[in-house]
């Protein structure tokens, strides 16, 4: 397997319409991968602690490349008793059950155009052993809520993006990642399996909201190079904006705390000792 795309979420309708935003994300990812005409890409959705599984409430008819990893509430509560959604555990658990030589971690409410995912696939194809000791962030434009909330198909969203591009990319909020200190906003991370395994990935102490990606950036930058922003290759990535962000801290806020060592977690990281299995719907 060349590439694993790992994303996560919870059936809690975070910020108003999370399931719809996740549906758009997975519809687009599956459509893109189908156009690659390859079996070398997998999409993994980690469902953290949902009482009603995301796989039961999403329309999965067009998800040929997606596998689900459901973390039952009883297990989720054990690892993050003071947080309703631990993205560090979710992404780490997805990684430890993935197969790709390269990994693209992606926010659940993201939208990746075909050309952007094709770039990621071609980068993974081109990286040799030496070049694989690098990582890339993907900056994001904020796709306004009104554009994606009133449609059920990706064709409408694609048309809105096309019009926006014809208008010289006007008005959609955008903060480019500053690679030296991780300022700005990222919605995706591309890196090799080796880096993930050596670092033990996201620091599982940070099981609430915020800081976890900044901590990871600074930690792996001590050994590996951040080559750049994927946006620098003349492609765009999008965040499907929330109806509201008033509850972004509903699961608590992480402190600005760094792992004392490069290998951030113990050998059980990624819930590897739990009986969890990927499944198709």
pLDDT given at position 244: 66
pLDDT in tens, 87-143: 999 999 999 999 999 999 999 999 999 999 999 999 999 987 766 789 999 999 999
Given a cut of 70, whether residue 42 has pLDDT beyond it is yes
pLDDT given at position 243: 77
Given a cut of 90, whether residue 31 has pLDDT beyond it is yes
Q: Per-residue DSSP letters for 207-245?
A: -SBSSHHHHHHHHHTTTSEEEEEGGGGT---EEE--S--
Given a cut of 70, whether residue 245 has pLDDT beyond it is no
Question: Residues 6 or more apart from 56 whose CB is under 8 A from it?
Answer: none
User: How far is CA 38 from each of CA 16, 34, 120, 188, rounded to the nearest angstrom?
Assistant: 35, 7, 14, 22
Separation of CA 84 from chain center: 18
Report the pLDDT averaged over residues 239-256. Answer: 78
Provide the pLDDT confidence category of residue 158 given band limits of 50, 70 and 90. very high
pLDDT given at position 56: 98
Q: Which of 157, 136, 138 is nearest to 148 (CA)?
A: 157
Given a cut of 60, whether residue 248 has pLDDT beyond it is no
pLDDT given at position 180: 87
- Main-chain dihedrals φ then ψ at residue 239, nearest 5 degrees: -105, 130
- Cβ-count burial 110-132 (b if 16+ within 10 Å, e if not): bbbbeebbebbbebbeebeeeeb
Report the pLDDT averaged over residues 140-165. Answer: 96
Question: Residues 6 or more apart from 207 whose CB is under 8 A from it?
Answer: 79, 80, 82, 83, 86, 88, 89, 254
**CA distance linking residue 134 with residue 130, whole number of Å:** 8
pLDDT given at position 16: 77
């Amino acid at each position: 397997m060349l590439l694993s795309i790992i994303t996560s979420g919870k059936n809690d309708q975070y910020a108003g319409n999370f399931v719809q935003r996740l549906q758009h994300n997975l519809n687009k990812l599956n459509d893109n991968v189908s156009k690659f005409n390859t079996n070398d890409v997998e999409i993994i959705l980690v469902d953290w602690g949902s009482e009603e599984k995301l796989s039961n409430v999403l329309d999965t008819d067009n998800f040929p490349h997606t596998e689900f990893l459901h973390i039952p509430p009883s297990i989720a509560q054990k690892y993050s008793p003071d947080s309703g959604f631990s993205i560090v555990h979710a992404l780490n658990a997805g990684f430890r059950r993935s197969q790709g030589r390269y990994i693209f971690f992606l926010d659940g409410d993201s939208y990746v155009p075909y050309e952007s995912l094709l770039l990621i696939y071609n980068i993974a194809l081109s990286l040799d052993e030496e070049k694989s000791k690098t990582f890339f962030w993907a900056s994001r434009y904020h796709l306004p809520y009104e554009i994606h909330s009133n449609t059920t198909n990706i064709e409408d969203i694609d048309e809105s993006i096309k019009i926006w591009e014809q208008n010289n990319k006007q008005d959609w909020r955008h903060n480019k990642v500053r690679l030296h200190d991780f300022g700005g906003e990222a919605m995706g991370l591309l890196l090799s399996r080796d880096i993930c395994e050596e670092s033990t990935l996201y620091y599982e102490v940070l099981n609430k909201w915020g800081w976890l990606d900044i901590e990871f950036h600074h930690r792996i930058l001590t050994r590996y190079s951040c080559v750049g922003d994927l946006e620098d290759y003349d492609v765009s990535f999008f965040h499907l904006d929330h109806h509201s962000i008033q509850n972004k801290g509903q699961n608590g806020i992480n402190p600005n705390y760094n792992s004392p060592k490069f290998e951030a977690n113990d050998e059980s990281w990624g819930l590897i000792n739990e009986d969890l299995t990927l499944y198709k719907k």
